[in-house]
Each structure stands twice: as structure tokens, then as C-alpha cells.
Amino acid sequence: MAKRIWNFNAGPATLPLSVLEKIKADIPSYNNSGMAVMELSHRAKDYADIHAQAKALLTELFNIPDGYNILFLQGGASTQFFMIPMNLLAQGKSADYVNTGTWSKKAIKEAKLFGDVNIAGSSEDKNFTYIPDVSGLSLNSASEYVHITSNNTIAGTQFKKFPETGSVPLIADMSSDIMSKKLDVSKFSMIYAGAQKNMGPAGVTLVIMKDDLLAKCKQDLPSMLKYDTHVQKDSLFNTGPTFSIYVVKLVLEWIKECGGVEAIEKENNKKADLLYGVIDDNPDFFKCPIEVNSRSFMNAVFRLPTEDLEKQFIAEAAEAGFGGTKGHRSVGGIRISMYNAMPYKGIKALTDFMLKFAKNNG
């Protein structure tokens, strides 16, 4: 068998091995069509089935209620940063944003091109090491929407509770924690996520949008940048990222085989408890700068006593078969991304390595 590492990269990220093997088996002839999926017409019956199954699995596994549209778009979550205000904001109108780090800031920058931004809460005062108390946000009831980043991939924080926004639509960038735990989708008017963290390969962005938010979207926009176009055409207005959507479908089938999102959530909690436990039990060597109640169960960030030790840790980890342990360049230190597809076994192996490293270098 080919060599595999424990891959802790933040995105693109590890995928279930069984999914990779299924992809391999489906090449060169998907469903006896004589073509690989990436060779199928996006209008072909075989592809239409993949597209429909991906949507049906999302609806089932993520419990998406009636009245929501599921879209597969391109341009990454970064395109949503401007597409949302382009469709929903205007000069003289305002939107609320909670600033919890790099990705929120990027979303805020784009929104300001289209209208006013009210920073309803921010954790910038403490270098984004916590999630602001959601009941203490300064929400503006006249806002077009409230935008949050549910999991902060770089800072290592995660919302554990969501703001109550009343009649103001709540929009969340869930790029790095979508499908990682049970969620009441009905609290949100829109959820979006690039697939490459927790759902599949790069190239497709999932958008889940409620009908009444869609109804508020502007019409005088370029076709590709209008949500309505993609809703009308079931995300097949133009050639979509068919291969990426197919892999997302396989990942969803894998989640179902695992017992659904609830089972995945249990596993994710076990993984995070183990890793943060080892960090907290060895405070002379490992230090997580994130407030305990704000810690991300997807991306754990921590420091070692010196930067030299961090460099050594990353190098020795790589040699031992643990990849992608280096923290984001803007934060430094170590970052361990433990998305759905990272098994408990991988975190167990890593924490064993961490303890040995601490013993040898402490």
C-alpha cells in the first residue's frame, strides 16, 4: 500500500482513505459509463444523479429544513465574502459583522465596498484568543444581516453558542467546521463553506440559503454573481466543479456510514478532549493561548517553550509521519487540524509523540 501520513493540514486537508480508494476504483469508468467522472458531461444522467444525491445527503445528514436552497458554487469562501454584500447590502444600508480573526476581517473588508459595516463584536483586543460573548454583541436591528465566522481556522477559536438575531438574518462562514457537529440550521438564513476543510477537495463552495433571504437579493447583478441564477438553474447555470461535487458526495456517504453527524461529533469531542488534555496536563511544556470555552475542536493551536523547540517539533513530527503541524505564519507555534476525516487513532499517535517530545526536551 502507498505511504500515508497523519495529515494535520488546515486545508486542503485529509480525506477518508476509503473515499480516496473509491475515487480510484471509479477511474477510468464511472458506473460502467466508459468515462471517469471528470470526463462526464455536466448534463449527463450519471452526473445529474451524483448532483442530486449530494444534495439529498446534505439535507438528510445536516437536517436542512424545507425552505432552504443548496448551492454548489465556485470561487471559494472568499467569493462569498463579496457575493453576500453584493447581493444583500447597498449604500446607506448596514450589516453587522463579528470580528474573530483573519477570515472575518477579509469578509468585513469586502462588505465595506458595498455598504456600512457595524462591528457588533470583536476579539481583536486579545489577539483573537476568544469568542466574544454572543449575548453581549451590539447588534443593530436595522441591519440587513449579521455575519459570523463559526470556526476560526487560523486563530483556533470556535463559537459554542450562536447569537440570537431576532428578525435579522444570521449568516455564518462555516468553512472549517461544517458537518462537524449537530446544528440547528433553522437558526441561520445562510451557511457557506469551502469544501476543502471538512467536506472534500478544493473547488466547490457549499451555500445553504433560506428562501426569504434569497427573496431579498438584488437582481441587477451579473448572472454568475447572483444567487438567484444558481437557484433557478440548480447550480448548473454553467459548468460546475463536477469532480469536486462527486468527492463531496462520497464524503457525505462516508459520514452516513460512520453513523451520521452525531456520531462524527462524538468522535470529534473525544479527539479534542485528548489533545487539549495533553496540552493542559503539561503546562510547563505546552501552552494553548485560547480561552478554554472558545477553543476550536477542529483547529488546535499551541506553543512550546521556545520558537527553536517549535521548529524542532515540526521537523521531528514530519520525520515521524505527522504532516502539517506548523502554525499559520500569522500566529506561529503549532496548529493541529483534526477535521472529521482525522481518526481518533491519529490524535492518539500525535499525543504520544508530543509526550515523548516533551520528555526528551523538557
Ligand X SMILES: *Cc1c(COP(=O)(O)O)cnc(C)c1O
Active-site residues, by number, are 103, 173, 197
Q: Which of 50, 71, 73, 77 binds ligand X (CB under 6 A)?
A: 77
Q: Which of the ranges 91-99, 156-164, 168-176, 265-273 carries the binding residues for ligand X, by CB under 6 A? A: 168-176
Is 103 a binding residue for ligand X by CB under 6 A? The answer is yes
- The answer to the question of residue 78 lying near ligand X (CB under 6 A) is yes
**Residue 62 near ligand X by CB under 6 A:** no
- Distance (Å, rounded) from C-alpha 347 to C-alpha 10? 15
Closest residue by Cα to residue 107 from 156, 149, 152 = 149
> Does residue number 11 form part of the binding site for ligand X (CB under 6 A)?
yes
Give one word for 116, left, alpha or beta, with left for phi > 0 and alpha for psi -120 to 50.
beta
Q: How far is the CB of 51 from ligand X (least distance, A)?
A: 20
> C-alpha cell of 353?
509523540
141 and 168 Cβ atoms separated by less than 8 Å: yes
Query: Which set of grid coordinates corresponds to residue 128?
Result: 483573537
- Cβ proximity of 47 and 37 under 8 Å: yes
Which residue type does 61 have?
A: L
Site for ligand X in 106-165 (CB under 6 A): 149, 153
Residue with cell 480516496: 20
Q: Which of 85, 169, 194, 200 binds ligand X (CB under 6 A)?
A: 194
The partner residues of 295 in beta bridges, in order of sequence, read 157
Closest CB 225 distance from ligand X, rounded Å: 15
Cβ nearer to ligand X, comparing 176 with 340: 176
Tell me the C-alpha distance between 154 and 268, whole Å: 18
Q: Is residue 175 close enough to count as binding ligand X by CB under 6 A? A: yes
CB of 328 to ligand X, least distance (A): 10
Nearer residue to ligand X within complex by CB, 127 or 306: 127
Position with the least CB separation from ligand X = 76
Phi, psi dihedrals of residue 27, rounded to the nearest 5°? -100, 130
From CA 171, how far away is CA 259, in angstroms rounded? Answer: 28
Q: In terms of CB distance, is 76 or 321 closer to ligand X?
A: 76
CB of 341 to ligand X, least distance (A): 16
Tell me whether residue 30 or residue 242 sits nearer to ligand X (CB atom): 242
Residue 31 grid coordinates = 458506473
Question: Contact residues for ligand X (CB under 6 A)?
Answer: 11, 76-78, 103, 149, 153, 173, 175-176, 194, 197
